[in-house]
Chain A
Amino acid sequence: MAEVVVLLDLWVSPFGQRCRIALAEKGVAYEYKEEYKEEDWTNKSPLLLQSNPVHKKVPVLIHDGKPVCESLIIVQYIYEVWSDGAPLLPADPYARAQARFWGDFVDKKIYECGTRLWKLKGEAQQEAKKELIEILKLLQAELGDKKYFGGDAFGYVDIALVPFCAWFYTYKACGGLSVEAEVPKLAAWGRRCMERESVAKTLYDPLKVYEFVCHLKKKYGIE
């Protein structure tokens, strides 16, 4: 019996991209449904409201009619259901704990700090820039000389972080933060990830992301 997999998403969402990358890594066929027509955040489809009544947000994975919400929960679910092939997490429980820790760190820190960087001005923006550099430096230290955060295997932390690579141009253009200059090893990791088909076909041109952010800023009167 064929499984029906649907992903409710927004093209630019790094959270949605995590799910798309995981689905691509696993070769799962799915229907992609774009939410928020005309960039109207209130324009939520009945399917979204029904599938994620608690948060009313994307991404939502609907597998044979059953919804799964929250991007990192979705990613874990994808790997647990389609369990053939490369695992998401290492086999050793301690290594798994480290991966979960850093995935949790990325989830708590990057989006919130990055948003302050492009949204704010003046001293608040400088504070956000300083914080984001610290966050990226910690991640670079964790990466070390490994090919991926998971070692030789592309895994949980890589998937959690890689969508934000498309935002590096925006961090520079809006906030003066050069990822290449501050954390070159992390920038190199980003480029290595882009060599993977799952990442390359999911991430959008950083210029498109920047255009989107400029559009948002104009819309909300932030200059």
Chain B
Amino acid sequence: MAEEEEKEVTLLGTWSSPFVLRVKWALRIKGVEYNYVEEDLRNKSPLLLQHNPVHKKVPVLVHKGRAIAESSVILHYIDEVWPLRPLLPHHPYEKAMARFWCKFEADKLSPPLWRVLTTRAEEQREAQASSIESLGLLENELEGKKFFGGQTIGLVDVWLGALAYIIPIYEEITGLKLVDQSKLPRLCGWMEEFLSSPAVEGTLPPKDMLLPRYAAMREAFLAKAKGPAQQ
């Protein structure tokens, strides 16, 4: 008990959430020790509801008793409070570009990827095409760089990083190719580099738990789309 109280940082999360992982990676890069609390989102704890009353979601970072929610807000906060090994570039223009690519992922990549997982036929093919188009723009961004942050992992790498393990799972479940090595070689390389980096090692949710989870989500969405009359 006393040992937990010594760490003044607590992270509320779930084992499978890629948003939570972003925060874990950032804290690891910064060398920040923290308590981790696993939440059950079907049965939200009073702690979660107290610390994130607006969205009632994870991740939530609690630092010295004060809560910060939303992964992008948390990442900026972590970068400001623990400034060594910065995630954000220094120059305002580079900062703006980093923020741009994070927003791009949320607006233009995440939604079609989700549709690849949760739809079929024509809709799924369109989602695949849309995802690949967005991935192509990220491929271009990696030109001449090991990571989106340059030589070292930065904000955009932490933001996009979950794709490195989620995309192969989606590909396996749906049988559709998203990151073709011959077409997106830099992105392929980045995925390998990122997953094998010290910040990420040992943090990933186990594939044998994650794959059935996403497969079940796909089944559930497809069943719902069919409608009750056809079940």
Chain A residues in the interface with B (C-beta under 8 A): 54-55, 63, 66, 68-70, 73-74, 76-77, 80-81, 93-94, 96-98, 100-101, 104-105, 138
Interface residues of B in 55-113 (CB under 8 A from A): 63, 66, 68-70, 72-74, 76-77, 80-81, 92-93, 95-96, 99-100, 103-104, 108
Contact of A77 among B77, B93, B108 (CB under 8 A): B93
Q: Tell me the complex Cα distance, A55–B92, Å.
A: 21
Pick the residue among A66, A77, A94, A104 that contacts B66 (CB under 8 A).
A94
Quick check: A69 and B100 within 8 Å, CB to CB? yes
A77-B73 in contact (CB<8A): no
**24 A–B contact pairs at CB < 8 A?**
A54-B104, A54-B137, A55-B108, A66-B93, A68-B100, A70-B100, A73-B99, A73-B103, A74-B96, A76-B96, A80-B95, A93-B81, A94-B63, A94-B66, A94-B68, A94-B77, A96-B77, A96-B80, A97-B68, A100-B73, A101-B70, A101-B73, A104-B70, A104-B73
Q: For residue A46, give the distance in angstroms from its CB to the closest CB of chain B.
A: 20
In the complex, which residue of chain B has the Cβ closest to the Cβ of A142? B54
Inter-chain contacts of B77 with A (CB < 8 A): 93-94, 96-97
For A135, the closest partner residue in chain B by CB is B54
B70 touches A93 (CB 8 A): no
| B12-45 contact mask (Cβ, 8 Å, vs A): 1 or 0 | 0000000000000000000000000000000000
Per DSSP, chain A at the interface is: helix
Q: B95 and A77: CB pair below 8 A?
A: yes
Q: What is the minimal beta-carbon distance from A98 to any residue of chain B, in angstroms?
A: 8
Residues of B contacting A97 in the complex (Cβ-Cβ under 8 angstroms):
68, 73-74, 76-77
CB-contact partner of A93 in B69, B72, B80, B104, under 8 A: B80
- Distance between Cα atoms of A113 and B103 in the complex (Å): 20
Q: For residue B64, which residue of chain A has the nearest CB?
A: A94
> Are B96 and A100 within 8 A (Cβ)?
no
Q: Is A68 in contact with B73, judged by CB distance below 8 angstroms?
A: no
A54 x B76 contact (CB < 8 A): no
Residues on the B chain within 8 Å of A96, using CB: 76-77, 80
Chain B interface residue count, Cβ-Cβ cutoff 8 angstroms: 23
- The smallest C-beta distance from A90 to any residue of chain B, in angstroms, reads 11
Which residues from A are CB-within-8-Å of B104?
A: 54
CA distance A36 to B112 in the complex (A): 27
Residues of chain A contacted by B99 (CB below 8 angstroms): 70, 73, 76
Q: What is the bound-complex CA distance between A104 and B81, given in angstroms?
A: 20
| 5 A-B pairs closest in CB distance | A80-B92, A97-B77, A93-B80, A100-B73, A77-B96
Q: How far is the CA of A106 from the CA of B83 in the complex (A)?
A: 28
Q: What residue in chain A is nearest B137 (Cβ atoms)?
A: A54
* B57, chain A: closest CB distance, angstroms: 12
In the complex, how many angstroms separate the beta carbon of A87 from the nearest chain B beta carbon?
Answer: 13
- In the complex, what residues of A have CB within 8 A of residue B80's CB? 93, 96
Is B72's CB under 8 angstroms from A100's CB? yes
**A186 to B77 alpha-carbon distance, docked (Å):** 27
With most chain B CB atoms within 10 A of its CB, the pick from A66, A73, A104 is: A73
Q: Give A64 to B99 CA distance when docked, in angstroms.
A: 20
Q: A72–B33 Cα gap in the complex (Å)?
A: 32
**Smallest CB-CB separation from B80: which chain A residue?**
A93
Could you say which residues of chain B place their CB within 8 Å of the CB of A101? 54, 68-70, 73
Whether A138 and B54, one on each chain, are in contact in the complex, defined by CB atoms closer than 8 angstroms, is yes
User: How far, in angstroms, from A54 to B133 measured CA to CA in the complex?
Assistant: 10
Say whether A73 contacts B96, CB under 8 Å: yes
Residues of B within 8 A of A76 (CB): 95-96, 99
B82 (CB) vs chain A CBs: closest residue? A93
The residues of B that contact A68 with a CB separation of less than 8 Å are 93, 96, 100
Interface residues of B in 139-197 (CB under 8 A from A): none
Q: Shortest distance in angstroms between A34's beta carbon and chain B's nearest beta carbon?
A: 23
Residue numbers in A under 8 Å from B92 (CB-CB): 77, 80-81
4 further interface pairs, Cβ-Cβ under 8 Å (given A54-B137, A76-B96) = A54-B108, A76-B95, A101-B68, A105-B54
What CA separation (Å) do A184 and B23 show in the bound complex? 38
What's the minimum C-beta distance from A51 to chain B, rounded to whole angstroms? 12
Q: From A103, which residue of chain B is reached at the shortest CB distance?
A: B73
